[in-house]
Amino acid sequence: MTFEITNKDAMGRIGKLKTPHGRVETPTLMPVINPNIDFIPAEKMKRFGAQILITNSYIIYRSGDLRDMAVEKGLHRLLETDLPVMTDSGSYQLMIYGDVEVKNAEVVKFQQMIGSDIIVPLDIPTPPDADYSRAIADLEITIEREREASRLIKESNSENLLAIPIQGSTYSELRKRSAEESKKIDGDVYPIGGVVPLLDDYRFSDVVRIILDVKSVIPSSYPIHLFGAGHPIFLSIAVALGCDLFDSAAYALYAKDDRYLTPYGTKKLNELHCLPCSCPVCSQYSAEELLKIEKEEREILVGEHNLWISFEEIRKIKQAIKENSLFEFVEKRIRSHPSLLSSWRQIKNYSTLLEEYDPSTKRQFFYTGIESIYRPAVSRHHERVKNVELEKDEYTISTSSENNSDFYLKPVFGVVPAEMNEVYPAGHAEMPPVEYIENEAVDVAVNALRSFLRKHHDKKFIIRADGVWREYLIELPDNAVVE
Amino acid sequence: MTFEITNKDAMGRIGKLKTPHGRVETPTLMPVINPNIDFIPAEKMKRFGAQILITNSYIIYRSGDLRDMAVEKGLHRLLETDLPVMTDSGSYQLMIYGDVEVKNAEVVKFQQMIGSDIIVPLDIPTPPDADYSRAIADLEITIEREREASRLIKESNSENLLAIPIQGSTYSELRKRSAEESKKIDGDVYPIGGVVPLLDDYRFSDVVRIILDVKSVIPSSYPIHLFGAGHPIFLSIAVALGCDLFDSAAYALYAKDDRYLTPYGTKKLNELHCLPCSCPVCSQYSAEELLKIEKEEREILVGEHNLWISFEEIRKIKQAIKENSLFEFVEKRIRSHPSLLSSWRQIKNYSTLLEEYDPSTKRQFFYTGIESIYRPAVSRHHERVKNVELEKDEYTISTSSENNSDFYLKPVFGVVPAEMNEVYPAGHAEMPPVEYIENEAVDVAVNALRSFLRKHHDKKFIIRADGVWREYLIELPDNAVVE
């Protein structure tokens, strides 16, 4: 097995990806190394937490010197690193310049020859909102090239891993078709491509939909790479939706214009009164001091900060997976921008998919807002309560856990049988009281109560309701009395 | 002026407090230095960002050696620091042990003698939920002692600042009375005391209420110290409610039991798979490595992390004030625990007070959840729209900014005249679309629309409504037609 999953939460997971140059713990971020530019060197990347790097084989291929050196010494000695290195194929250049001077087989073989750990075929990253006919034509070429790459790798019997990118522009059906075709090809890593323009435009809803479309097709055991995504603002969402690998050129590109990454957005260095970070750069310099440092050195310092904060975010996400609090973590992060908030709230339309992935037992349920209602723990609870069988003729339901009752009524969860009131999720749920919680959280509970009462129409229920609850407990079936 | 306010946001502010040992920029955290314990020394505190320290004059007073040294060399040379130092009086010991062996005048004079920058009288920190009679009796003694301290400081003509603590247990009226009496006394810093047991029990709602009660009495120009509060989980809320100074013994106390501070709660070191931080400690060690270091050294390292992360939080808060995004910042932080969420949502009951403080012009309004509706920007907008005068007979209202209309209908803000649709707040508001926003956000808009239509009952309104909006636009007055 190339990819082994060790921990799960939401649709996210911690995994181990086996590469020719060693194991990589996912989720992780691959810093982009541009072999033409002397910036933060590959050898220094471990210090920030990098376990794997990514570089562009097309750039190496096109530059006589680099190419000769790579062919002679291999990719890893060219970059002076013993970390695994993934190589891109020129697809990015294809997207930017519309053309590349290399053929698929040629660039795949070149990546093999120089010893890339993860090879990418020359897929076509169709931009968002492309004509449907173009998107489909591009996709057909992409699929053909992926098949060719797979044949080449198999023939040579080499140990390099193969990435099978998934394209299809912003069309759900094409993304799904691309995923269907990709999963038939024997790959090791499944990148979702063509999302960078969407992320740059804060079109997070489109990216969330694309990821969910792909995940609804690709088996859970396959590692997913969200190609070109590396800004910490989106990492936790992408991981929670089941992405495992990310790559960041942002750390370097943003540093060029004094753009300082944070998990809640990008800041211009000169807008910062205080540095909102304690990384080795930000604990040594103030914002004012950084601005006084000459450009070239400052660019490296900002680039280093950008790496520190990106890997800090990766560690926070991994910690959240370990303690099964990834939903809670994401629900905080999406408050960094209203577009993130709406993008995440689309999960309410994918409850079946989420239920397939999310572990059914956790320690705690912290309510943070209406999107907490969309967690699988809630729908599973409602399902379980539907299957409860009743033997007595009369039951008590209380809105307060202090009263001893047969059932309890809770926001979000609705009817909670006494035996479920001690265990996860309803029994381990913390949420604001009815007067401070969102209407939706009470409505979902009252609707569940109504269904429950109707289902058990031959039983009688005495509901002991406190304060604000009484305002909500209206239009109940006749077999219930509110006391 | 001892305290000068330079920037404002929500009820928070950045200020400069002038002390005998120099200016301090608030909000800030005063690390507690225990002169009896050899931990992180005072001289090192600047490195973490400390601008002022706090120590306990009662401990110094009671220990023969320390006392002699303090009297001889002064407090600052005893602690080996040139930073300003506030001194507590023994009130904490009074709360813990119920008794102290010193009189108010004695400990005030001692603090003066050793050169404390901020002197605290021997106030009585009545615990939460104390008997009302006890709370009132304690408060009377506290007020008497504060008056005595003020007289002593004035008589001696010394330059030390004087803190006038506000007590009153969990009783709103006593907190207000305490604040009323305190503001009559000529003090420099106004600490809110007796809240530590509430914070320890996650009774954040009580603390928020106490702060708001006090702030409704104490003039905005007085610096407020939330005594004993230093955990980063509550700092942003406290600052947003108008607190300026904090003190942290937590950094050291928590480090003793390997408790690792984060702005979203305390973690036990052995529960951490990854360190969710990039401070000089956490960027050098992994969680596993830290656990292998011997206890004494590890305690210092965890203590250092605790300081780094606490001051990082202070810098983030200051940055948020500078860019007028403190509401947005707090609304993220309160998602760390449902008790924080409900505590903050109490601001809906204090809208007049909030409006007094919060600046009326900002750059942006990011919606994060129902508590965004409680921001003064929203109530001010609704007030302004009430005063709009109409001259034509017929008007158009559109739910989409793409249509050219006289008015626009937006969640949260409701009716937005075209000329307000380009400016803060409604014009600079980012929020999820109607299908992904909370019911409350749409309800407040539709209710405002209904009032507006009723007020202008002699005019006709044509409402162009998109998709989901149409479901909400029901039961409108007769002068409106939904198209």
Q: What is the pLDDT of residue B326?
A: 98
Q: What is the pLDDT of residue A204?
A: 98
Q: What is the pLDDT of residue A288?
A: 95
> Domain A360-482 adopts which CATH fold?
3.90.1020
Please check whether the domain covering A3-345 is classified as CATH 3.20.20.105.
yes
Please list the residues that pair with B429 across neighbouring strands: B365
- pLDDT over threshold 90, residue B1: no
Mean pLDDT over residues B119-148, rounded? Answer: 96
3-class state of residue A58 by DSSP? helix
Q: What is the pLDDT of residue A370?
A: 98
Compute CA distances A372 → A366, B446, B470, whole Å: 8, 25, 26
Nearest residue in chain A measured CA to CA from B373 = A438
Q: Do A342 and B280 touch (CB under 8 A)?
A: no
C-alpha distance from B263 to closest chain A C-alpha (Å):
12
One-letter amino acid of A444: V
Q: What is the pLDDT of residue B238?
A: 98
Mean pLDDT over residues B257-282, rounded? Answer: 97
**pLDDT band at residue B93, thresholds of 50, 70 and 90?**
confident
Q: Do A346 and B440 touch (CB under 8 A)?
A: no
Mean pLDDT over residues A135-141, rounded? Answer: 96
**pLDDT band at residue B438, thresholds of 50, 70 and 90?**
very high
Measured between beta carbons, the chain B residues lying within 8 angstroms of A301 are none
Measure the CA dihedral B354/B359/B362/B367, to 10°.
0
pLDDT tens digits for range A318-364: 999 999 999 999 999 999 999 999 999 999 999 999 999 999 999 99
Mean pLDDT over residues A284-302, rounded? Answer: 97
- pLDDT over threshold 80, residue B317: yes
Measuring CA to CA, which residue among B272, B472, B81, A390 is closest to residue B281? B272
Nearest residue in chain A measured CA to CA from B434 = A342
Q: What percent of chain B has pLDDT over 90?
A: 93
Q: Do A335 and B308 touch (CB under 8 A)?
A: no
Q: Do A370 and B438 touch (CB under 8 A)?
A: yes
Determine whether B201 is an active site residue.
no
User: Where do the structural domains in chain B lie, given as residue ranges?
Assistant: 3-345, 360-482
- pLDDT over threshold 90, residue A368: yes
pLDDT tens digits for range B225-240: 999 999 999 999 999 9
Query: What's the CA angle centered on B370, arms A429 and B442, to 5 degrees?
Result: 125
More confident of the two residues B396 and A158:
B396
Q: What is the pLDDT of residue A402?
A: 83
pLDDT tens digits for range A19-74: 999 999 999 999 999 999 889 999 999 999 999 999 999 999 998 899 999 999 99
Q: What is the pLDDT of residue A93?
A: 78
Q: What is the pLDDT of residue B33?
A: 97
Instruction: Establish whether this prediction's ipTM goes over 0.90.
Output: yes
- pLDDT over threshold 90, residue A401: no
A-B C-beta contacts closer than 8 Å:
128
The DSSP code for A334 is G
Q: Which one of B35-39, B103-107, B164-168 scores highest in mean pLDDT?
A: B164-168
Nearest residue in chain A measured CA to CA from B430 = A338
Exposed/middle/buried for residue A20 (C-beta within 10 Å: 0-12, 13-18, 19+): middle
Give the nearest partner residue to A438 out of B319, B368, B438, using CB atoms.
B438
Mean pLDDT over residues A418-442, rounded? Answer: 96
Measured between beta carbons, the chain B residues lying within 8 angstroms of A263 are none
Measured between beta carbons, the chain B residues lying within 8 angstroms of A278 are 277-280, 308-309, 311-312
pLDDT tens digits for range A142-162: 999 999 999 999 999 889 999
**pLDDT band at residue B29, thresholds of 50, 70 and 90?**
very high
Q: Kindly report the average pLDDT of chain A as a whole number.
A: 96
Cα(A443)–Cα(A447) distance, integer angstroms: 6
Measured between beta carbons, the chain A residues lying within 8 angstroms of B440 are 438-439
Q: What is the pLDDT of residue B102?
A: 83
Query: 3-state secondary structure string, chain B?
Result: CCEEEEEEECCEEEEEEEECCEEEEECEEEEEECCCCCCCCHHHHHHHCCCCEEEEHHHHHHCHHHHHHHHHHCHHHHHCCCCCEEEECCHHHHHHHCCCCCCHHHHHHHHHHHCCCEECCCCCCCCCCCCHHHHHHHHHHHHHHHHHHHHHHHHHCCCCEEECCECCCCCHHHHHHHHHHHHHCCCCEEEECCCHHHHHCCCHHHHHHHHHHHHCCCCCCCCEEECCCCCHHHHHHHHHCCCCEEEECHHHHHHHCCEEEECCEEEEHHHCCCCCCCCCCCCCCCHHHHHHCCHHHHHHHHHHHHHHHHHHHHHHHHHHHHCCCHHHHHHHHHHHCHHHHHHHHHHHHHHHHHHHHCCCCCCCEECCCHHHHHCHHHHHHHHHHHCCCCCCCEEEEECCCCCCCCEEEECCCEEEEHHHCCCCCHHHEECCCHHHCCHHHHHHHHHHHHHHHHHCCCCEEEEECCCCHHHHCCCCCCCEEEC
Nearest residue in chain A measured CA to CA from B304 = A278
Helix (H) or strand (E) holding A192: strand A190-192
Mean pLDDT over residues B77-97, rounded? Answer: 89
One-letter amino acid of B127: P
Q: What is the pLDDT of residue A158?
A: 86
More confident of the two residues B36 and A1:
B36
3-class state of residue A109 by DSSP? helix
pLDDT tens digits for range A339-348: 999 999 999 9
pLDDT tens digits for range B274-292: 999 999 999 999 999 999 9
Q: What is the pLDDT of residue B137?
A: 96
Helix (H) or strand (E) holding A59: helix A57-62
Measure the CA dihedral B54/B305/B11/B24, to 10°.
40
Q: What is the pLDDT of residue B462?
A: 97
pLDDT tens digits for range A239-279: 999 999 999 899 999 999 999 999 999 999 999 999 999 99
